[in-house]
Amino acid sequence: MRGDFDNNQPIYQQIIDRMIAAIAKGDLAPGAKVASVRDLALQHNVNPNTMQKSLAKLEEMGYLYTERTSGRYVTQNLAVVEQLAARVPEKIIGDFVAQMIDFGMAAPDIPGRVSDYIERMDYNGKNIGN
Amino acid sequence: MEKILEINGLHKNYGKTHAVKGISLDVEKGKIVGLLGPNGSGKTTIIKTIMGLLSDYDGNVAIAGTTPGVAANENISYLPDVSHIPNWFKVNQAISFFADFYKDFDAKRAENMLDSMNIPRDKKIKALSRGMQEKVQLSLVMSRRAKLYILDEPIGAVDPASREFIISTILKNFNEEGAILLSTHIIADIEPILDVAVFLKEGQIVLNDDVEKIREEKGMSLDQLFREVFKNVV
């Protein structure tokens, strides 16, 4: 999860997106302790104040909460996590479709291209070519 | 917010050449500030003034409330763009040199850092590669518990692989009770760790802003904005 941010966009927003995806996927499990601001900043190679801002926003959004003495945790509210898990694929598809259209592809042609691609995949999800 | 560095109306000329033309700049506690500009924009003059190496300037400068000089320098950990450690020193002599010189130097921290890079302590500094020398110097500078860290071109001479190491060393050892003033003209690698960017052009500040705000408002990276502002200069 480290580095490789798009420097054209606010980095705190990109960290928020990545952490939301991690919560949705269960990489950050409900109730799990979140590393300290400093450790996370190092992991991602970003400024600690930027990381602090991301975590504060995630807290405001209800995905994280702070236990006053022991640190930050992922929400234990499973309904929130499930809702997220439903939203993330939607967002990925949205981004993908937007990119394809931007590339010049007609929306109705996209599903066909996707199934062609999937047919060429092995069980590990790797494209094995034609 | 506590100010670690305050500069008010700083003006410095060398004869008829005005190197710095009345700049004002505050650096707050806990911030990493990039002093960015092409060669000749005034970065070095500002740093020299803060370090107490220039006396005939106009304006006011204060480091943690103290005007530049010997007393103020106790609060400053300085990484110059050229090495200030005698290169015939062995690495462990350089460590004891720092320990003798600076009350706030944490030798244990420096030793751990050098060990993590497998830098042999009994080697002379001049026998190390250029990249290694820079790493040794940065490790020593970041092992002080200073108020103000001044890093002059910390990634100037190192290869891209070492840049990442240097950036993470800065982050890992950043004392949040202090602040970092970092001068560079290589923006892309350093911009993820900056809070604030200060653009210097011909001795004047042409921009002083929160880096995330720049990305948010302009939809461009600091590197891109820098190239735009300085397109006729660099």
Q: How many CB atoms lie within 10 A of CB B56?
A: 7
Res B217 pLDDT > 80: yes
Q: Are strands B3-14 and B17-28 parallel, antiparallel or unpaired?
A: antiparallel
CB contact set of B189 (below 8 Å; sequence gap of 6+): B155, B160, B163, B164, B167
Interchain contact A69–B (C-beta under 8 A): no
Interchain contact B220–A (C-beta under 8 A): yes
Res B103 pLDDT > 80: yes
Dihedral over Cα of B181, B182, B187, B190: its sign: negative
Res A50 pLDDT > 50: yes
What is residue B234's predicted lDDT score, i.e. its pLDDT? 53
Res B84 pLDDT > 60: yes
Q: Do A47 and B220 touch (CB under 8 A)?
A: no
Q: Tell me which residue in B30, B168, B188 faces A45 most closely, judged by beta carbons.
A: B168
Interchain contact B209–A (C-beta under 8 A): no
Q: In this predicted complex, what is the ipTM?
A: 0.77
Interchain contact A46–B (C-beta under 8 A): yes
What is residue A3's predicted lDDT score, i.e. its pLDDT? 61
Alpha-carbon span B124 to B133, nearest angstrom: 10
* Residue among A24, A56, A25 nearest A40 (CA): A56
Residues of B in contact with A5 (CB under 8 A): 192
In this prediction, what percent of chain A has a pLDDT beyond 70?
94
What is residue A89's predicted lDDT score, i.e. its pLDDT? 85
Q: In one letter, which amino acid is B156?
A: G
Alpha-carbon span B20 to B47, nearest angstrom: 11
Instruction: Pick the range with the lowest mean pLDDT from A18-22, A71-75, B82-86.
Output: B82-86
DSSP code per residue over A35-66: PPHHHHHHHHT--HHHHHHHHHHHHHTTSEEE
Q: Tell me which residue in B174, B216, B221 faces A7 most closely, judged by beta carbons.
A: B221
What is residue A128's predicted lDDT score, i.e. its pLDDT? 66
- Please write the tens of the pLDDT for every residue from B23-54: 999 999 999 999 999 888 999 999 999 999 99
What is residue A64's predicted lDDT score, i.e. its pLDDT? 96
Q: Do A7 and B191 touch (CB under 8 A)?
A: yes
Average pLDDT over residues B195-218: 95
| HSE-CB of B160 using CA atoms within 13 angstroms | 3
Interchain contact B27–A (C-beta under 8 A): no
Residues of B in contact with A8 (CB under 8 A): 215, 219-221, 224
First and final C-alpha spacing in chain A: 32
- Please write the tens of the pLDDT for every residue from B143-171: 999 999 999 988 876 777 788 888 888 99
| HSE-CB of A11 using CA atoms within 13 angstroms | 26
Interchain contact A21–B (C-beta under 8 A): no
Q: Do A8 and B224 touch (CB under 8 A)?
A: yes
Average pLDDT over residues A120-129: 73
- Please write the tens of the pLDDT for every residue from B118-147: 888 999 999 998 888 888 999 999 999 999
What is residue B158's predicted lDDT score, i.e. its pLDDT? 73
Interchain contact B224–A (C-beta under 8 A): yes
Residues of B in contact with A12 (CB under 8 A): 212
Q: Do B193 and A46 touch (CB under 8 A)?
A: yes
Mean pLDDT value across chain A: 89
